[in-house]
């Protein structure tokens, strides 16, 4: 079936909650994807960092095939031979005490909200029904009803209320605002180390260290949403490592399965996750043997193939090459590791979407964020020659848009 026919079917039968570029992909390998007509593209989005290990990594694929032939689902009513090993390997890798497995990133966020409130009532002594969680403006933690209720994106909230109470919003990157917002009812501070959906917004140096100190002094849980920033994306296994801190609860997902299966997890300590009792939280698919086998192999290749160090080196190189572009339409190039944004000056013809559409025609797939920002987040297996190839085409796209 032709591209136009597939797009027409999607438009006819699908809900209009996405606005994708008009490319229909059918195959992927490493940093590359191909459309149904056989055209090749460099993937510079990595499914929002879900395929950090590259598309269809053969070792992860084989782990999935092997496990799918043996046992896929038991529910947590019974034990399986993969879950305990995932717990052990994940705790050893991330220096965690406990793991609570879930499926999607949003489900992990909903889980951590429940856990933080429970800790607040049973350990901190907050009055029942009064627990408060502090979040940041321009946050993105998912699409469920509770989560969008504390979003500052009006488009995400319009016509979906009423929303779950119990959240207070402060500016991102402002440690003094956090300190001022804490009350005796505050149980947690939920924050992204780097705001991805907001346009790769990096907080001031030392921010996370200050936040960690404030939360410790005030007996408030620090929750880091590392669903996008974690598992190598920023050139460290977890972004918190850049400032030498450890959160009380850390959320991971996306690349936890290398793009093969929905897997997420809440990482924490005995003091928080130890409060959960049978029947108080769960998921039919959470911790299933297929997910666990895939996640174990996804973590293994991330470490054994040194993808985290490669992300640090290639990210520095990519940033440097983009900054050398110096095009007058570019306001700023920022990033850390392979989490990079190019922000355009207001008034650039067509905005970021036009650049993304131009790059698609040149064989690069990336995504605009809001109106003026383009994100570049290729798989962590990218090499210098790939970056050189991409940078030349990015420069051409900017030259064409500006001249138009």
**For residues 134 and 132, what is the distance between their CA atoms, to the nearest angstrom?**
7
Q: Are 249 and 115 in contact (CB under 8 A)?
A: yes
pLDDT on residue 404: 60
pLDDT at 220 > cutoff 70: yes
Q: Could you tell me the two tokens for 47?
A: 């499914």
Say if CB 315 and CB 339 are below 8 A apart: yes
Give me the catalytic one of 43, 98, 118, 140: 140
CA atoms within 13 Å, Cβ hemisphere of 326: 1
Structure tokens given for 81: 């031979």
Cβ atoms < 10 Å from Cβ of 4: 10
Query: pLDDT tens, 2-38?
Result: 999 999 999 999 999 999 999 999 999 999 999 999 9
Looking at residues 199-210, what average pLDDT do you find? 98
C-beta atoms surrounding 171 within 10 Å: 12
- Tell me the pLDDT of the chain averaged across its residues: 97
Query: Which among 362, 359, 333, 360 has a CA at the least distance from the CA of 345?
Result: 333
Q: What are phi and psi of 174, to 5 degrees?
A: -115, 95
Class level of CATH domain 3-57+306-403? alpha beta
The two structure tokens encoding residue 9? 């079917």
> What's the rounded Cα separation, in Å, for the pair 385 and 329?
25
Please give the pLDDT value at position 402: 61
Find out whether 264 and 250 touch, Cβ atoms under 8 Å: no
Residue-wise pLDDT for 364-376, tens only, equals 999 999 899 999 9
* Residue-wise pLDDT tens digits, 76-130: 999 999 999 999 999 999 999 999 999 999 999 999 999 999 999 999 999 999 9
Give residue 142's Cα distance to chain centre.
Answer: 10
In the residue annotation, 225 being an active-site residue is answered as: yes
d(CA 342, CA 137): 21
Q: Where are the extended beta strands (E) located within 314-391? A: 330-336, 339-344, 364-365, 367-369, 373-376
Q: Where are the domains of the chain?
A: 3-57+306-403, 58-304
Helix H or strand E encompassing 256: none
Active-site residue, selected from the candidate residues 225, 236, 248, 260: 225
Query: What is the reported pLDDT for 325?
Result: 83
Averaged pLDDT, 378-393: 98
Let me know if 254 is a catalytic residue. Answer: yes
Helix, strand, coil in percent for the chain, rounding step 5: 40, 20, 40
198 pLDDT higher than 80 = yes
Q: How far apart are CA 300 and CA 252, in angstroms?
A: 16
Find where tokens 């109470």 sit: 165
* Cβ-based neighbours of 363, under 8 Å, separated by 6 or more: 39, 40, 41, 42, 393
Is the pLDDT assigned to residue 309 strictly greater than 70? yes
* Res. 359: pLDDT tops 80: yes
285 is catalytic: no
- The stretch 58-65 carries a mean pLDDT of 98
DSSP 113-146: HHHHHHHIIIII-PPTT--EEEEETT----SSHH
Residue 403 pLDDT > 70: no
CA distances to 105, 157, 197, 345 from 139, rounded to whole Å, are: 14, 13, 8, 23
Q: Which of 98, 118, 236, 254 is catalytic?
A: 254
Both tokens of residue 348? Answer: 């650039």
Pairing mode, strands 32-35 and 98-102: unpaired
pLDDT digits (tens, 9 = 90+) for 118-176: 999 999 999 999 999 999 999 999 999 999 999 999 999 999 999 999 999 999 999 99
Tokens for 112, please give them: 């951590």
- Helix 384-403 and helix 307-325: axis angle, to 10°? 30
**Residues 230-235, mean pLDDT to the nearest whole number:** 98
Whether this model's pTM surpasses 0.95: yes
CATH class of the region 58-304 = alpha beta
């Amino acid at each position: 079936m032709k591209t136009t026919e597939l797009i027409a079917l999607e438009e006819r039968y699908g809900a209009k909650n996405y606005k994708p570029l008009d490319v229909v992909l059918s195959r992927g390998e490493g940093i590359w994807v191909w459309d149904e007509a056989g055209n090749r593209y460099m993937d510079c989005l990595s499914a929002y960092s879900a395929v950090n290990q590259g598309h269809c990594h053969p070792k992860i694929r084989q782990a999935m095939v092997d496990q799918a032939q043996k046992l896929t689902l038991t529910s947590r009513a019974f034990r399986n031979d993969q879950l305990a090993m995932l717990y052990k390997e994940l705790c050893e890798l991330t220096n965690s005490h406990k793991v609570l497995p879930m499926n999607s990133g949003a489900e992990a966020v909903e889980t951590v909200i429940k856990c933080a409130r429970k800790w607040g009532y049973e350990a901190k002594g907050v009055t029942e029904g009064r627990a408060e969680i502090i979040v940041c403006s321009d946050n993105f933690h998912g699409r469920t009803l509770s989560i969008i209720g504390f979003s500052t994106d009006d488009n995400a909230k319009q016509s979906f209320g009423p929303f779950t109470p119990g959240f207070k919003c402060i500016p991102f990157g402002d440690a003094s605002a956090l300190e001022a917002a804490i009350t005796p009812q505050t149980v947690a501070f939920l924050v992204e180390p780097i705001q991805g959906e907001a346009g790769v917004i990096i907080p001031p140096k030392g921010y996370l260290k200050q936040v960690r100190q404030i939360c410790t002094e005030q007996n408030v849980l620090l929750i880091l949403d590392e669903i996008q920033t974690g598992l190598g994306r920023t050139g460290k296994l977890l972004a918190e490592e850049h400032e030498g801190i450890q959160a009380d609860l850390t959320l991971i997902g996306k690349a936890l399965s290398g793009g093969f299966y929905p897997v997420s997890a809440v990482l924490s300590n005995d003091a928080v996750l130890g409060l959960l009792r049978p029947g108080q939280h769960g998921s039919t698919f959470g911790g299933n043997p297929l997910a666990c086998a895939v996640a174990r192999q996804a973590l293994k290749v991330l470490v054994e193939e040194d993808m985290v160090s490669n992300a640090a080196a290639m990210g520095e190189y990519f940033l440097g090459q983009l900054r050398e572009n110096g095009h007058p339409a570019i306001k700023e190039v920022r990033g850390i590791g392979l989490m990079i944004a190019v922000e355009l000056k207001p008034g650039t013809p067509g905005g970021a979407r036009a650049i993304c559409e131009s790059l698609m025609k040149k064989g690069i797939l990336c995504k605009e964020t809001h109106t003026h920002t383009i994100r570049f987040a290729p798989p962590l297996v990218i090499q210098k020659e790939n970056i050189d190839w991409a940078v030349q085409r990015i420069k051409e796209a900017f030259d064409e848009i500006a001249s138009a």
